[in-house]
Structure 1
Amino acid sequence: MTILQLPVPETTAERFQTLSAQQQTLVSQLVADCLSEPSSLTDVMDYVSFKATQRGLTPDILQQLLDEE
């Protein structure tokens, strides 16, 4: 496996660091899956939505996560 560095806002990096090891792995896998083959932004968004739903993310849970600061 290769380490990839991506520029992100500091708040995003801080939030990533607070995730559990399992959550960090899931985020890494999601990024890898999204970048594994060329696709449009719409395709990536659809894929992320599909995977999130598959893993139990509901609109209510998403809203709770977005409301957290």
Structure 2
Amino acid sequence: MNTLPSPGWTKSSYSNGDGGGCVEWAANHAEAFGQVPVRDSKDTTLPGFTVTAPAWSAFVAYARTAQV
């Protein structure tokens, strides 16, 4: 089985150290392939998922305006 190289994970600027919701995404992979890998930054052994670049952009726009 072939494995892909690490996509270059980046922790979300909204992630914090108090056990709250933390995600990582892979900007380099997104730029190269138009798909955005996303995973839980607290447990990187769990499988992540991939969304389209427009879907990720919509999510980020929502997260910036959400009052949670």
What TM-score does the superposition give when structure 2 sets the normalisation length? 0.33
In proportion to residue count, which structure has more helix?
Answer: 1
Question: Normalising to structure 1: TM-score of the pair?
Answer: 0.33
Structure in which a larger fraction of residues adopt strand: 2
Query: Which is bigger in relative contact order (C-alpha 8 A, separation at least 6)?
Result: 2
